[in-house]
Structure 1
Amino acid sequence: MNIKQLEYFVDLASTLNFTKTAKNFYISQTAITKQIQNLEHDLDLTLFLRTKKEVVLSQEGKTFLPYAKQILHDVNLSYEAIKEYKRGKSGIIKLGFIKACEHQVLLDLLEKLKNQFPLIQFQYQAYPRQVLLDLFKDHQLDAIIMYEHNETQSFSKCVLKNSYLRKYYHRECNLSTLPLIYDVQDDENHQELEQTLLKLCLKEGYAILHDFIEYNQYAKNFNYEDTFVSSPLCFFYLNNHTNFALSHVIDYVLQTYKKDNLK
């Protein structure tokens, strides 16, 4: 049994005329007859009842017909899926992002990508910074979203948003008397954002953090002092990839966010 035989069978079940089916496929009636006979032999079924006056679909043929149509439908879907994949319109893309990032920017990006590429499956997960970098370098992630860092200098990037660093401290404290307990750019003192904010609430010191934490539930307890140090949130990607879908996603991100950042 092959796809052509199923196509001939489905068409013949509609026309009930070997001559018409042969014309529909631009082959001889003898060829159609032979292919139907081969299909019947493979299935060990009589698909058509033939007389000198007419051709009738047998009971076995009626039973087999919906399955034949479904097979052809699935084959056509698979061809379309492959075409979409080659066009970069479908596939799987694995995105990683740093835990302590501005979630609204991330949500906006994911919404845009899903709307633009409905057939692409986006798998995304938050990681600590070093884990995120290691996975990306090991090509286990297609792209990552994090703030610029000395380890990202060799990666291609698109800036999603320019953030700034601030010195945050408890409202009841004087910044000049507090020790630095956390610097978001300092690898040696990495900790979870929530832990840092709780320490600020306990008046243990001050922290240098991104300006987006003003939306955090703890922010009402803090004062801040601007540092005017830029810390862009970026979409990082590698150029030496063979993922068709990723190529289109990268192009879209570059066009969308470079244009937005020029406004």
Structure 2
Amino acid sequence: MGYQIALRHLEYFKAVAEELNYRKAADRLFISQPGLSRQVKQMEEILDVELFYRTKRSVTLTAAGEFLKGEVDFIFNHLELITQQLKKIDTGQIGELRIGFLGSAAHQVIPDLLIRMSKKFPGIQTNLEELSNHLQIEMLEKDKLDLGFVRLARVPEGLSMKAVHRDTFSLVLPLDHPIDTTNFSHIGQLKEELFILFSSDYSSLYFDKIMSICEDRGFTPKISHKSVNALTIFKLVESGLGVAIVPTSLKEGYALKVKFIEIKDIPQHTELFAVWKTENRNPALKHVLEVL
């Protein structure tokens, strides 16, 4: 036959299977009893099975009808679930968010954000990737990331940014270094030391700020090594190959033989910015921005 099973057939079958009475099922569906009978009969012809035993006094399900009733219940329950899921996806309560970040955001900002998101929007999954400032901007512009965490003074047109964390700078020294919190007064005390710094590739703004901290004390640091990785910098300091200046928040999460001394009374500080494409269409993003 040229007919196919339509959703209405399943609705009509479900009503008859539950009521086991054509008149009551027809009233429930707001259609005529003869019309309902024709639709059920058509369904049986399409499937080439008998779904009901009918007598003048009763209507009962056949074995095939019993099986179909269970499957139809599942189909309608699943359709309801799909409808609910679609609404959640449309409003951003369910989905995936692709997040890029600098390593210095991994110690406080990212964990705090994920904890708050999991409480408020448990349906949003995150895909996290540690990336440089430059790569994050490039991927945001190409719609390969939804959200980035960068240290930049400005971002290209079409991107939005919001300051999410302000941090001080700290000096990183080997544990056995003679300078400690009791005798440290300013960075000029270390002008003869070799410095291990974050590369300007990590953030040119950040690199310039660290240089200016030293220049404000009348010296240009002698740089022995550069890296874009905090752990590498700390390992080099631990090995006695130099001293470093990093955001204070980076002191969390490492078990190394180094000590941190916060550099107080300086104008320099570092800010971490959340960045996203202004016209990003991922509905989950607006919820994460609310949490931020």
Question: TM (normalized to structure 1)?
Answer: 0.85
Structure 1 position 51, deviation (Å): 1.2
Question: What secondary structure sits across from 2:191 in the alignment?
Answer: helix
C-alpha change, 1:221 and 1:208, in structure 2 (3 Å) is closer
> Is the contact between residue 98 and residue 132 of structure 1 (CA under 8 Å) also seen in structure 2?
no
The secondary structure found in structure 1 opposite 2:228 is coil
CA deviations 1:98-149 (Å, max 9, x no partner) are: 2232423211111111211122222223234443333223211111123x21
> What RMSD over aligned residues (CA atoms) do the two structures have, in Å?
2.4
Q: Tell me the residue number matched to 1:237.
A: 276
- In structure 1, C-alpha distance between the alignment counterparts of 2:84 and 2:44, rounded to whole Å: 29
Question: Structure 2 residue aligned with 1:109, among 113, 126, 144?
Answer: 113
Report if aligned partners of 1:149, 1:185 keep a CA contact under 8 Å in 2: no
CA distances 1:33-92 after superposition (whole Å, capped 9, x unpaired) = 122112212221110111111111111101221111111111111111112222232222
1:6-155 matches, within 5 Å, as 6-146=10-150, 148-150=151-153, 152=155, 154=157, 155=159
Amino acid at match of 2:155: T
Residue identity (%): 23
Question: Unpaired runs of 5+ in structure 1?
Answer: 258-263
Q: Which has the higher helix share?
A: 1
- Which of the residues 192, 195, 218 maps onto 2:256? 218
Q: Give the structure, 1 or 2, with the largest relative contact order (CA under 8 Å, sep 6 or more).
A: 2
Secondary structure of 1:134's aligned partner: helix
Instruction: Read off the aligned partner of 1:72 and give its amino acid letter.
Output: F
Structure 2: distance between partners of 1:109 and 1:101: 10
Cα deviations by residue, 1:169-214 (Å, 9 ceiling, x for unpaired): 3324661211332146664744311111111122222222111133
Q: Which residue of 1 aligns with 2:168?
A: 164
Whose radius of gyration is greater, 1 or 2? Answer: 2
TM-score between the two structures when normalised by the length of structure 2: 0.77
1: CA distance between counterparts of 2:70 and 2:267? Answer: 68
